[in-house]
């Protein structure tokens, strides 16, 4: 079992100053690359990309749905602790919620960058369209982020209140503000927090499934001009792949944070349970994707067959076979296949990160191939691959998320603290 850090010993952050300096230096380089390419994006507009009227969506939209999926998946992992009270999962619920919040912030950055007029990002709130799934999605994202922040607050409020009274430095003052004035740490106050945490979690489940990532799938499924997307199974596949990526992210973060950002021991039993969940979700994802492909090919619809032919044998077939199938399915299933390997932290980090990268291939295969094909005969085919500006801005926005998570992990009590000094 893992040891829970006490309030008296509270000292989150990198265990090694050398690793801290190297990590922040790497993030600084990535942020500079992102800042420069973002300036190019603003200065040159869409001319800095390979997006065209034939292929209007590309890397930014792929990363957008990727990070929305990471967020929804991480949140659903947190509900195992906060809603369903699964044994041992309370140790990772704050990690999952914080990662879900950061992922949504990064997803919104990708949406903002993809807008032709970036200065009009607030227009959906001024000019609502009740018949537009996209309009509904924007409002669902705001509500969802509110649910995530409320859950994280309720989950750590007791520890924040305790730390605010024990620490006499700037952190104590900050934690006092973060409690929002609720400093009661009695058993009754804890019971109230747990009760509302469960209620908010229950509210968030349908929001995450039907509106956030299922709703993101709907944005594609309602596009009748693209038969590959126009499927009732599409939103379900979005939800399952979200759970896969979220579980993988939480598994990797659980090990890495305890390796580099705390002195706590790993709960190998919890690590094994996460690995088994990940394997189960990967198999379900594989099954649904296979069913979707078989239905599409069996329909003998020319566009469906041409799209799948492009995915399987076209110029980006490496994205399907190497990234999606190889990293997303084969590698993690091999690493999780033996009990001894499931209890080996380094291998489980490798399995988790392999899935996290593999799902990127899934998102690119969803977005790009259907848009390369013309919607009508005689129209030209598209030809898309991200430019350096698209890759650079993407790296920068991901670095923003990594920086936000690192600062939070170095500061906030993302692991429940002991109460022996209460």
Contacts of 313 by beta carbon, 8 Å cutoff, 6+ apart? none
Q: Does the pLDDT at position 50 exceed 70? A: yes
- The separation between the first and the last C-alpha atoms of the chain, rounded to the nearest angstrom, is 23
Selection from 151, 153, 179 nearest residue 74 by Cα: 151
The span from the CA of 162 to the CA of 10, in Å, is 11
pLDDT exceeds cutoff 50 at 318: yes
CB-based contact 115:121 (threshold 8 Å): yes
> Which two structure tokens, joined as six digits, stand for 365?
């295969």
pLDDT tens-digit series, residues 367-409: 998 888 887 777 788 889 999 999 999 999 999 999 999 999 9
Rounded average pLDDT over 75-103:
93
> pLDDT tens, 114-170?
988 888 888 888 888 888 888 889 899 999 999 999 999 999 999 999 999 988 889
In the chain, % of residues over pLDDT 70: 96
Higher pLDDT, 304 or 352: 352
172 and 166 in contact (C-beta within 8 Å)?
yes
How would you class 254 by CB atoms within 10 Å of its CB: exposed for 0-12, middle for 13-18, buried for 19 or more?
buried
Q: What is the DSSP letter of 195?
A: H
What is the per-residue pLDDT for 421? 38
Q: How many CB atoms lie within 10 A of CB 150?
A: 18
Q: CA 341, 343, 348: angle at the middle one, nearest 5?
A: 70
Q: 322-349: b or e for each residue (b if 16 or more CB lie within 10 Å)?
A: ebbbbbbbbbbbebbeeeebbebbebbb
Alpha helices, H only, 261-387: 268-298, 302-313, 317-318, 331-336, 339-342, 345-372
CATH architecture of the domain covering 17-281+387-411: Up-down Bundle (1.20)
Question: Between helices 133-166 and 59-82, what is the axis angle to 10°?
Answer: 50
Residue 125: the pLDDT is 86
238: enclosing H helix or E strand: helix 234-260
Q: Domain residue spans in the chain?
A: 17-281+387-411
For 266, residues 6+ apart whose C-beta sits below 8 A from its C-beta are 2, 254, 255, 258, 345
Handedness of CA 296, 297, 301, 305 (dihedral sign): positive
């Amino acid at each position: 079992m893992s040891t829970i850090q006490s309030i008296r010993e509270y000292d989150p952050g990198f265990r090694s100053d050398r690793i801290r300096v190297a990590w922040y230096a790497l993030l600084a380089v990535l942020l500079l690359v992102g800042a420069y390419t973002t300036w190019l994006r603003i200065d040159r507009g869409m001319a800095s990309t390979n997006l065209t009227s034939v292929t209007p969506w590309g890397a930014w939209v792929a990363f957008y749905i990727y990070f929305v999926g990471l967020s929804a998946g991480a949140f659903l992992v947190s509900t195992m602790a906060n809603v369903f009270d699964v044994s041992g999962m309370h140790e990772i619920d704050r990690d999952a919620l914080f990662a879900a919040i950061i992922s949504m912030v990064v997803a919104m950055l990708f949406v903002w960058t993809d807008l032709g007029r970036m200065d009009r990002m607030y227009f959906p709130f001024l000019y609502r369209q009740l018949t537009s799934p996209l309009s509904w999605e924007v409002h669902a994202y705001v509500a969802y982020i509110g649910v995530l922040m409320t859950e994280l607050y309720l989950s750590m409020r007791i520890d924040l209140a305790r730390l605010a009274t024990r620490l006499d430095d700037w952190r104590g003052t900050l934690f006092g503000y973060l409690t929002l004035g609720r400093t009661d740490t009695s058993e009754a106050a804890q019971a109230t927090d747990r009760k509302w945490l469960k209620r908010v979690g229950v509210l968030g489940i349908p929001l995450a499934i039907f509106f956030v990532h299922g709703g993101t799938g709907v944005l594609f499924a309602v596009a009748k001009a693209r038969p590959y997307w126009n499927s009732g199974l599409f939103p379900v596949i979005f939800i399952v792949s979200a759970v896969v990526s979220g579980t993988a992210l939480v598994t990797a973060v659980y090990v890495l944070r305890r390796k580099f950002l705390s002195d706590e021991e790993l709960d190998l039993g919890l690590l094994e349970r996460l690995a088994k969940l990940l394997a189960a979700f990967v198999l379900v994802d594989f099954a649904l994707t296979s069913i979707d492909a078989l239905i599409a090919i069996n329909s003998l619809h020319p566009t469906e067959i041409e799209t799948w032919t492009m995915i399987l044998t076209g110029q980006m077939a490496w994205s399907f076979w190497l990234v999606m199938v190889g990293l997303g399915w084969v590698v993690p299933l091999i690493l999780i296949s033996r009990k001894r390997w499931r209890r080996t932290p380094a291998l489980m980090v490798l399995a988790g990160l392999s899935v996290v990268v593999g799902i990127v291939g899934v998102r690119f295969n969803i977005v790009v191939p259907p848009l390369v094909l013309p919607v009508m005969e005689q129209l030209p085919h598209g030809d898309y691959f991200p430019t350096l500006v698209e890759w650079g801005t993407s790296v920068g926005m991901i670095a923003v998320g990594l920086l936000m998570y690192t600062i939070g992990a170095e500061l906030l009590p993302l692991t429940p603290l002991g109460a022996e000094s209460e």
